[in-house]
Amino acid sequence: MVRAADSPVRGPAAKGSDPEIIGEEVAVLTHAPLVPPPIKRTHSTKVIVTLEVKEVVRRLSDGVEYLFWTFGGEVPGMFIRVREGDLVEFHLNNHPSSKMPHNIDLHAVTGPGGGAASSFTAPGHSSQFSFTALNPGLYVYHCATAPVGMHVGNGMYGLILVEPKSGFPPADKEYYVMQGEFYTTGRFGEEGQQYFDQNKALDERPTYVVFNGAVSSLVGDKAITAKVGERVRLFIGNGGPNLVSSFHVIGEIFDHVYPEGGTVATQQNVQTTVIPAGGSAIVDFKVEVPGTYVLVDHSLFRAFNKGALGMLKVTGPENLLAYSGKEVDAVYLGRQAEAGSAAEKEVASLQAQMKQAIQSDPKIVGLTKEIQIAKGKQIFMQTCFVCHQINGEGIPAQIPPLAKSDFLMQDLERSIRIVLQGRSGETVVNGKTFNGTMVPLNTLSDDEIANVLTYVRNSFGNSGDAVSLDRVRRIRSEAPAAPAAASFE
Amino acid sequence: MKISRVFKFLVSCFACLVAVVSSGSEIVPGMALIPAGRYTPLFRGARETNYVEVAAFLLDTVPVTNARYLEFVRANPKWRRSTVVRLFADEDYLKDWAADLEIGSTVAPDAPVTCVPWFAAKAFAAWAGRRLPFTAEWEYAAAASATRADGLNDPAFVAQIERWYTTPSAPTLASVAQSPPNIYGVYDLHGLVWEWVADFSTAMVTGDSRGDAGLDRSLFCAGGSENATDRNNFPAFMRYGLRSSLKANYTLHNLGFRCAKTIELTTPKCIP
């Protein structure tokens, strides 16, 4: 029999009430954007959580200060991580310098008020209550002292994760991001000490909408980070007090979303997920391409005018296949030009110029070649490597090498034909004679052939031009040559 | 004290007269006359009237200072820091003082005394021949701005009050009477310290400001919004909130008190 929140029985007695509770530990709490480590325990325990309420003046934006009411000295409040079934002994300390009494309503608590009445604490005092984390999920906690909107509006919110007994799938990085809005007497960016503006709050017209308690708290060297190939999980909360967030990461797609902080990833491949005020969501995604990804509330004036911006910086090797970067930058005159008109001629002339400019711009040509190499590598790794090996060395006496191959580099058109039509009979490569058969790979598209040949002709110690699509196309359209070995020599 | 209905009527007329004639002036040194009037509590039951009558009374013009409180503990050894009964005062009682009978340099003699429990404030008032004001009296007096008795109808005044609640606590408290008095001549009702009231424990806020479903809303209503007469009077919410978070032996670094006095021959009507 487990006991609900606010039970007068607590401590060892409550522990004794549930035979599955083994041992006792002190919860590790973290400030955003950090998240306590996943729980490795496989049993329930008694977890002691101590949270200090403090009223502190901190930076809201550059040159802007605000008296935040906080759980743990910062906004958002410290991240609490427990396991489903744990008995949580909660201590709420209200710092002696506080002016206000405060309390805490944890949405993870099952019981009237979520702990608020039991944790109501005068400045310089401390309260204790216990609850069993009956339901797993990601929950908001907040102060519920009157006027509630003002206490929340001054920053009194945070997240508590009740990890399911089965845990979450592994992730390489986990971060804590919480949105909230602030209502200040001065306009956005007005310097100096700012005060809570009751009228703006009542009208739901925030001056600031921010992640993690301040403008730019997740920007520059404070950005969250990951490496290419890593899986990133975000625990996202929204303290409100008024707005619902349309959370989006520019340039990423959430592989999995646990909507509203529940424990089932009911959605995959999501661009923007809604985070209700007083609610949360869990998202994860694998980062494929290096660069900076911007976290926004996609209600965009909040992002670009009120502060709701953060950054995820991903480092690692480029992945031009996933994302090429800018390939062409050209004048575009629209499609309205009529055939034969002066405008159409101008378009044709400009297009010709553009083509020429692209061809003569080594940077773009280089980029095009790099993309072809990256794409060609994928083809090679699906098909060719089986015989020619990953390093292109082939197999002695059986499969001719591609690495540093005189035969390959001598004649591009011959290479294209071999891919299209196959080859059998004697082939001399680097002075060694091979006598085998290569099957035709004419199911590859012209594009794919151009790319894979560009890859092999620029890998394994080879160095050559990019193979153009036109050249492959032309050779495919030729009548198939007689499959005699002589035709190749 | 038993008085006839007629006499009671005459007395209240007299009180009103005094109120009109001597509003803002001192009739007892250090105290100001607060004329009779009506106070609209933040919370009222469904069957109660929306206001309570407040009889004329006297109120200290400034909070009790450290210097004045020192006189009290000199005269009443049982209220000295080292001898006080823990049941009546928690561990932080007079913690800013240097010693039992020494204010020290951390706090100024003419700053409000803080870190005093309700029991001590009540004992001080009795020693001084006074009493603690009731919530209705305190709130009624504190509703007045420097220029008008109904200051709460002035958004600028409300915003000014609110400012104190959203400003960090000063490391050391300022001396009393440093800012202008209100229309009755009373200083520092806002902006310096919280103040004990005689009936602080009747605030009836449960701690969960949104109201526990199990409670009778018409009676308790719990600091939230359901029955609040003025949902936007945030400072009042905060004062009710603070009062209801207290116990009588609690001491806070920014909670002091001042005394009131019933005008002779009248019966206070403000007791809830």
Measured CA to CA, the distance from residue A151 to residue A431 in angstroms comes to 82
| Helix ranges (DSSP H) in chain B | 5-22, 66-75, 118-127, 135-142, 155-165, 234-245
Q: What is the CA radius of gyration of chain A?
A: 32
Largest alpha-carbon pair distance within chain B?
55
And the tokens for A98? 């506080």
Which of A53, A65, A198 to probe by mutation at the B interface, max B CB count within 10 Å? Answer: A198
Q: What is the CA radius of gyration of chain B?
A: 19
Between positions 49 and 68 of B, the ones with CB within 8 A of A are none
Measured CA to CA, the distance from residue B250 to residue A125 in angstroms comes to 9
**pLDDT tens, chain A, 489 aa long:** 344 444 444 444 444 455 688 999 999 999 999 999 999 999 999 999 999 999 999 999 988 999 999 999 999 999 999 999 999 999 999 999 999 999 999 999 998 888 888 899 999 999 999 999 999 999 999 999 988 999 999 999 999 999 999 999 999 999 999 999 999 999 998 889 999 998 999 999 999 999 999 999 998 889 999 999 999 999 999 999 999 999 999 999 999 999 999 999 999 999 999 999 999 999 999 999 999 999 999 999 999 889 999 999 999 998 888 888 887 777 776 555 556 677 777 778 888 888 887 777 766 766 788 888 988 887 887 778 778 888 899 888 888 999 999 999 999 999 999 999 888 888 999 999 998 888 888 778 888 899 999 999 999 999 998 898 889 989 988 866 544 443 333
Measured CA to CA, the distance from residue A409 to residue A457 in angstroms comes to 7
Query: Looking at the predicted structure, is the pLDDT value of residue B128 above 60?
Result: yes
A14-50 as b/e, with b when 16 or more CB fall inside 10 Å? Answer: bbebbeebeeeeebebebbbebbebbebeebbbbbbb
Q: What is the pLDDT of residue A264?
A: 95
Handedness of CA A48, A53, A58, A64 (dihedral sign): positive
Chain A residues near residue B207 by CB distance under 8 angstroms: 103, 113, 116-120, 145
Q: Residue B9 phi/psi, 5° resolution?
A: -60, -45
Measured CA to CA, the distance from residue B272 to residue B34 in angstroms comes to 18
CB B64 within 8 A of CB B79: no
Measured CA to CA, the distance from residue A265 to residue A103 in angstroms comes to 32
CB B253 within 8 A of CB A123: yes
Hey, what's the torsion of the CAs at A442, A448, A451, A456, to 10 degrees? -40
**What residue of A is the nearest CA neighbor of B92?**
A124
Cβ <8 Å between B245 and A117: no
Is the peptide bond prior to A12 cis by the omega test (within 30 degrees of 0)? no
DSSP states of B102-169: B--SSS-TTSBP-S--HHHHHHHHHHTT-BPPPHHHHHHHHT--SS-TTGGG-HHHHHHHHHHHTSPP
Q: Whole-angstrom distance between the N-terminal and C-terminal Cα of chain A?
A: 86
To the nearest whole number, what is the mean pLDDT of chain B?
A: 81
Contacts (Cβ under 8 Å, ≥6 apart) of B216:
none
pLDDT band, very low/low/confident/very high, at B203 (cuts 50, 70, 90):
low
Contacts (Cβ under 8 Å, ≥6 apart) of B256:
B63, B64, B112, B113, B114, B116, B192, B193, B194, B195, B196
Between positions 186 and 205 of B, the ones with CB within 8 A of A are 194, 205
Query: Looking at the predicted structure, is the pLDDT value of residue B213 above 60?
Result: no
Sheet holding A105-106, edge to edge: A80-83, A157-163, A137-142, A105-106
Chain A residues near residue B213 by CB distance under 8 angstroms: 112
CB B259 within 8 A of CB B133: yes
Residue A27 C-alpha, separation from nearest chain B C-alpha, in angstroms: 25
Q: Residue A472's CB: how many other CB atoms inside 10 A? A: 24
Cβ <8 Å between A113 and B167: no
Q: Is B165 on the interface with A (CB under 8 A)?
A: yes
pTM for the full predicted model: 0.71
Residue B66, SS3 per DSSP: helix
Residue B28 C-alpha, separation from nearest chain A C-alpha, in angstroms: 32
The one-letter amino acid at B148: R
Cβ <8 Å between A147 and B234: yes
Chain B residues near residue A147 by CB distance under 8 angstroms: 209, 234, 237-238
DSSP states of B133-152: PPHHHHHHHHT--SS-TTGG
Measured CA to CA, the distance from residue A331 to residue A301 in angstroms comes to 30
Chain B residues near residue A103 by CB distance under 8 angstroms: 207-208
Measured CA to CA, the distance from residue A337 to residue A349 in angstroms comes to 13
CB A67 within 8 A of CB B166: yes
Which of A66, A97, A129, A145 to probe by mutation at the B interface, max B CB count within 10 Å? Answer: A145
Measured CA to CA, the distance from residue B37 to residue B56 in angstroms comes to 7
Residues in a beta bridge with A281: A236
- Give the residue numbers in A contacting B (CB under 8 Å), as ranges: 55-57, 67, 96-101, 103, 105, 112-113, 116-125, 144-148, 150, 154, 193, 195-196, 198, 202
- A451 class by beta-carbon count within 10 Å (0-12 exposed, 13-18 middle, 19+ buried): buried
Residue among B162, B169, B250 whose CB faces A198 most closely: B162
Q: Residue B233's CB: how many other CB atoms inside 10 A? A: 21
Measured CA to CA, the distance from residue A359 to residue B48 in angstroms comes to 88
CB pairs under 8 A between A and B: 105
Q: pLDDT exceeding 90 applies to what percent of chain B?
A: 54
Handedness of CA A129, A130, A134, A137 (dihedral sign): positive
Cβ <8 Å between B238 and A196: no
pLDDT band, very low/low/confident/very high, at B47 (cuts 50, 70, 90):
low
Chain A residues near residue B168 by CB distance under 8 angstroms: 55-57, 67, 97
- B255 class by beta-carbon count within 10 Å (0-12 exposed, 13-18 middle, 19+ buried): buried
Measured CA to CA, the distance from residue A323 to residue A287 in angstroms comes to 12
- Lowest average pLDDT, out of A117-126, A439-448, B66-75, B250-259, goes to A439-448
**What residue of A is the nearest CA neighbor of B158?**
A198
pLDDT band, very low/low/confident/very high, at B204 (cuts 50, 70, 90):
low
- B222 class by beta-carbon count within 10 Å (0-12 exposed, 13-18 middle, 19+ buried): buried
What are the contacts of B212-221 at 24+ separation with CB within 8 A?
B212/A112, B212/A113, B212/A117, B213/A112, B214/A112, B218/B45, B218/B46, B218/B47, B219/B45, B220/B43, B221/B43
Q: What is the pLDDT of residue B6?
A: 45
Residue B177 region by backbone torsions, left for phi larger than 0, else alpha for psi between -120 and 50, else beta: left
CB A138 within 8 A of CB A282: yes
Chain B residues near residue A124 by CB distance under 8 angstroms: 92, 250-253
What are the contacts of A428-436 at 24+ separation with CB within 8 A?
A429/A400, A429/A401, A429/A405, A430/A401, A430/A404, A430/A405, A430/A406, A432/A397, A432/A400, A434/A397, A434/A398, A434/A399, A434/A400, A436/A398, A436/A399, A436/A400
Residue A263, SS3 per DSSP: coil
Q: Whole-angstrom distance between the N-terminal and C-terminal Cα of chain B?
A: 19
Handedness of CA A109, A112, A118, A122 (dihedral sign): positive
Residue A134, SS3 per DSSP: coil
For residue A212, CA distances in Å to A74, A79, A144, A157, B243 come to 9, 12, 20, 10, 32
Measured CA to CA, the distance from residue A247 to residue A178 in angstroms comes to 10
Measured CA to CA, the distance from residue B56 to residue B266 in angstroms comes to 9
Highest mean pLDDT among A141-145, B21-25, B241-245: A141-145
**Tokens 């009157």, residue?**
A146
Cβ <8 Å between B92 and A124: yes
Strand A80-83, strand A157-163: pairing: parallel
Q: What is the pLDDT of residue A336?
A: 55
CB A458 within 8 A of CB A369: yes
Run of H or E residues at A60: strand A44-61
Distance of CA A4 to the CA centre of its chain: 37
